[in-house]
Structure 1
Amino acid sequence: MNMDYAVKWTYGKFFKFVFPSILTMICISFYSVVDSFFVAKFVSTNAMASVNIVLPYTNLVWGLAVMLAAGSSAIVGIRLGEKKTEEANRLFSFMAFFMLCVSVILAVICLIFMDDIVRLLGASELLFDDARLYIFVLIITSPILMFKLFFEYYVRLDGKPKVALVMSFLGLALNVALDYIMVESLGWGVMGASIATATSIFVSMLIGIYYFTKGSSHLKFMKFKKDFVFIWHSIVNGSSEMLTEMSSGIVTILFNYSIMRYAAEDGVAAMGVIMNIYYFFISIYMGITSGSQPVISYNYGAKNITKMKEIMRYSIISIGVSSILVFLCAQVFGHGIISWYVGNSPHVIALADHGLKIFAFCFLFIGVNLFVSNLYTAISHGKVAALISISRTILFVLAALAILPRFIGIDGIWSAIPLSELVTLFMSGYFMIQFLRIHVKEEA
């Protein structure tokens, strides 16, 4: 099983392997973008702002799912590399059961406190009703959302990134079609957008269920024993990915509060456009890192140092080239993307265009930070990965938001994430050197 993970690859084969993961992450990034686009085009920019303002709830759900899926799949991948196939299957099965319990409990709690959650996220009276409609459907479909992501991580670990791509691409295509029907044709507004997203994610999840029950998967569901030590290790190991997702929600709330002081609802809409562009572009880096993670985990368990160095080298090359291209794309085509996205809202377009010119500098640094964090997750050293993630996504961003706007106004808000990523780059460099020194030694 996964013996192809151990043999020497050319860069072309590496790129062919991670490319489906890149496309998968791009598809995932489009789910919220598609809803915002159709709502902005066919309802109003205020309706779009109401969708964007509750996205931190999605970050919470994604964060929990990524923590459990990424953290556990790295451990399972190491077991596979150690040739402990039966143990890997038991751990995979137990994690699926545990995620089902967590997702249902989360949905029930959030339904009870739904109105309080919407207010906590910063919805004004103007945005409250639409925000409440959108988040209601998101809450009741939380288990579906979590299992979609869970299956995608394990399908990649199983050596089938193309299946994960099919899951996401078909879901995205269905989301676009249903958004057009429900938002534009039927005029269901924000509620239609949320139903479209939930339905498309459900279809993606069904493909994952079929793959692991009726398909040709190597990993199989089987009778398991409760192993809460494994759960704890998965939580610690996947905490960096959870922090990345959840901090995006926290930072979005803080950005929304900050931007409301300077530009009211138009500022929230502009920030929503920029954040959707941000999620799209960083999905490229996330695709590279998530695509390479199972290969690193497997070869770390197999103690194949040569293969680990090969994959790390190819990953860094890919991230370096994509960082430059993404930055240039944001600078050159940003205005056109914003105008197409928002439509006839000159003030929102002007705000977002100016903000993106500054914000885009983060794309030069973020890829390396994500890779180093993911590298430590892949070898089950979650504490280092968590330190990098919490620094770049919360601590440094909070410090920048507290200080910069006092001196340079709204430009301080646009500059917060680029500065945070730049400072984190030095931390990532240190831990990369430590990793090479301790875990990747030159062979005799």
Structure 2
Amino acid sequence: MNGMDRIEKISTERKFAKYVSQNILGMIGISAYVIADTFFISRAEGAGGITALNLVLPLYSLIFGIGAMIGVGSATRFNILRARNDERAELYFSNAVMFAVILGALFMLVGALLPGQLIAVLGGDAQIVKIGTPYTRIFLMFAPFFMGNHICNAFVRNDGNPSRAMQATLFSSLFNIVMDYVLMFPLGMGMAGAALATAFSPVVGILICCTHFFSKRSTVRFIWQRPSVRRIVEACQLGMAAFIGELSSGVTTAVFNYLILGLAGNDGVAAYGIVANTAIVATSIFNGVSQGAQPLLSESYGKGDRTSVKKILKLSVGTAIILALLVIFVAVCFTQPIVNIFNSEHNAKMAAYALEGVRLYFVGFLFAGFNIVGTGYLSATESAKWAFVTSIVRGVVAIIVCAYVLSWLFGMTGIWLAFPAAELVTTLLMLVAIGGNRSLN
């Protein structure tokens, strides 16, 4: 290895460490307020509150998924075109923001008119509808801000400022956690207070991102223009994996809720709420690796630098495997304390379901980490078809099939095993997709 190669190797690895570490911290910050919601709601409303929260999680996933698809896809397209000195790059930010407003308005309409009916459709009984309606109405009214936060964060990160992107997510999450407590307990606002804290947190994130956009180092500009359907479709093709990655948790939650209600009732759904919300933290770690590597991959790919693309992919996969082993170790060794945190009513039946759930479910992250990193790599290198196929198999097809088959064979144990089984199937497909990707050949 000559001197120049050694400098380039160090530069790539240092960039990777910087981007990935800061994105992991940022993504953990995002997941932290979901955990805070679950904890405070469990204290204020008990198992009924956790059940209501878990039933509306698919709505969160849909909103976050749309924001991630538009944001990650547009920012990736921006990075690739900028690496090629293409002037169209600067049009993608403003187009993304406009579509976030348009699509977010649809969720606002549903939140204003049909929140209770929505919870009932998702499986809530009269008690759960009563508990969950204020929460659902409020967070749906802030849908444009949730989407906008994803977009701003992605563009700040791809514009070479991962530190500011991390600060935005961490401070918005800290705001949410503090306000969760203040609004729910000293002010006694219950579920409505939790929703308000969550709803205003992306506003904080957007404001922090704006400090980058208005700085001299920013190359991102908002340009008034007519919204372009063609441009948003081009962006969403590269952001589809991010969309399905977010949506998959919602699909999993909806399918599991339906099956668990038949197997174990509200106690089972509450137990799954503990498992699912704890798993969000683990998922956020791998999303941090994937999204941290994405700007580096798309820039190297845009320049035609296949050596760097291969190097970044190897670093991403190696990091994901090490973190997966760490996540599984923590989940297995600290299962009881994790469940106890959310079991304020000391519900023995719910605790028994949750203890088994955490231990079995988390084994799937050994494969999920590789799959999340793999889909991010495929999207960043314009392999949109493979990114879509692997994402749809992982997030929809495999998880639904495995959940139905394994729950029929093994009951609640089969529910917990469905996630590891689906991720294993996806891993086999992912190896084929990455092996045939043209950026490595």
Same fold (TM over 0.5): yes
Structure 1 window deviating more from structure 2 (122-131 vs 421-430): it is: 122-131
Shift in Å, 1:74:
1.3
Matched, 1:439 2:439: yes
Structure 1 distance, partners of 2:140, 2:75, is 25
Q: Does the aligned pair in 2 maintain the 1:74–1:379 contact within 8 Å? A: no
- Scaled by the length of structure 2, what TM-score is found? 0.94
1:266 corresponds to: 267
1:296 corresponds to: 297
1:3 corresponds to: none
Shift in Å, 1:373:
1.0
Matched, 1:318 2:319: yes
Shift in Å, 1:26:
0.7
Structure 2 distance, partners of 1:112, 1:41, is 29
Deviation sequence 1:79-110 (CA, Å, 0-9, x none) = 111122x3211222222222222212332245
Q: Does the aligned pair in 2 maintain the 1:74–1:380 contact within 8 Å? A: no
Deviation sequence 1:165-208 (CA, Å, 0-9, x none) = 11111111111111111112222111110011112221112222
1:127 corresponds to: 128
1:395 corresponds to: 397
1:416 corresponds to: 418
Q: Does the aligned pair in 2 maintain the 1:90–1:225 contact within 8 Å? A: no
Q: Does the aligned pair in 2 maintain the 1:51–1:130 contact within 8 Å? A: no
Task: Specify every segment of 5 or more residues in structure 1 that has no aligned partner in the other structure, as ranges.
Answer: 1-5
Deviation sequence 1:196-254 (CA, Å, 0-9, x none) = 11122211122223321356312222344654322112222222221222232122111
Match runs of 1:25-424 below 5 Å = 25-84=27-86, 86-214=87-215, 216-224=217-225, 226-343=227-344, 344-424=346-426
Structure 1 window deviating more from structure 2 (179-188 vs 150-159): it is: 179-188
Structure 2 distance, partners of 1:77, 1:12, is 19
Residue 54 of structure 1: SS of its match in structure 2? helix
Structure 2 distance, partners of 1:310, 1:382, is 21
Letter in 2 for 1:381: S
Residue 43 of structure 1: SS of its match in structure 2? helix
Structure 1 distance, partners of 2:16, 2:211, is 27
Shift in Å, 1:157:
0.3
Shift in Å, 1:122:
1.2
Q: Percent identity?
A: 28
Letter in 1 for 2:398: F
Residue 278 of structure 1: SS of its match in structure 2? helix
Letter in 2 for 1:289: S
Structure 1 window deviating more from structure 2 (140-149 vs 119-128): it is: 119-128
Structure 2 distance, partners of 1:225, 1:286, is 32
Structure 2 distance, partners of 1:332, 1:199, is 35
Structure 1 window deviating more from structure 2 (87-96 vs 73-82): it is: 87-96
Q: Does the aligned pair in 1 maintain the 2:107–2:141 contact within 8 Å? A: no
Shift in Å, 1:113:
3.3
Structure 2 distance, partners of 1:7, 1:195, is 47
Letter in 1 for 2:74: S
Task: Specify every segment of 5 or more residues in structure 2 that has no aligned partner in the other structure, as ranges.
Answer: 1-6
Deviation sequence 1:235-277 (CA, Å, 0-9, x none) = 2222222122223212211111111122211111110000011
Q: Does the aligned pair in 2 maintain the 1:244–1:389 contact within 8 Å? A: yes
Q: Does the aligned pair in 2 maintain the 1:51–1:190 contact within 8 Å? A: no
Deviation sequence 1:61-83 (CA, Å, 0-9, x none) = 01111111111111111011112
Residue 236 of structure 2: SS of its match in structure 1? helix
C-alpha spacing 1:60/1:226, structure 2 compared with 1 (3 Å): closer
CA RMSD of aligned residues (A): 1.7
C-alpha spacing 1:295/1:180, structure 2 compared with 1 (3 Å): same
C-alpha spacing 1:50/1:287, structure 2 compared with 1 (3 Å): same
Letter in 2 for 1:413: I
C-alpha spacing 1:215/1:268, structure 2 compared with 1 (3 Å): farther
Structure 2 distance, partners of 1:201, 1:279, is 18
C-alpha spacing 1:13/1:295, structure 2 compared with 1 (3 Å): closer
Shift in Å, 1:43:
2.8
Structure 1 distance, partners of 2:224, 2:296, is 27
Letter in 2 for 1:261: G
Deviation sequence 1:408-431 (CA, Å, 0-9, x none) = 111111111110001111000111
Structure 2 distance, partners of 1:53, 1:413, is 17
Residue 440 of structure 2: SS of its match in structure 1? coil
Structure 1 window deviating more from structure 2 (238-247 vs 389-398): it is: 238-247
Structure 2 distance, partners of 1:199, 1:235, is 26
C-alpha spacing 1:221/1:7, structure 2 compared with 1 (3 Å): farther
Residue 380 of structure 1: SS of its match in structure 2? coil
C-alpha spacing 1:427/1:230, structure 2 compared with 1 (3 Å): same
Letter in 1 for 2:120: R
C-alpha spacing 1:12/1:335, structure 2 compared with 1 (3 Å): farther
- Scaled by the length of structure 1, what TM-score is found? 0.93
C-alpha spacing 1:415/1:223, structure 2 compared with 1 (3 Å): same
Letter in 1 for 2:16: F
2:429 corresponds to: 427
Deviation sequence 1:133-154 (CA, Å, 0-9, x none) = 1110111111111111111111
Structure 1 window deviating more from structure 2 (289-298 vs 217-226): it is: 217-226
Q: Does the aligned pair in 2 maintain the 1:49–1:268 contact within 8 Å? A: yes
Shift in Å, 1:10:
5.4
Q: Does the aligned pair in 1 maintain the 2:58–2:250 contact within 8 Å? A: yes
C-alpha spacing 1:211/1:355, structure 2 compared with 1 (3 Å): same
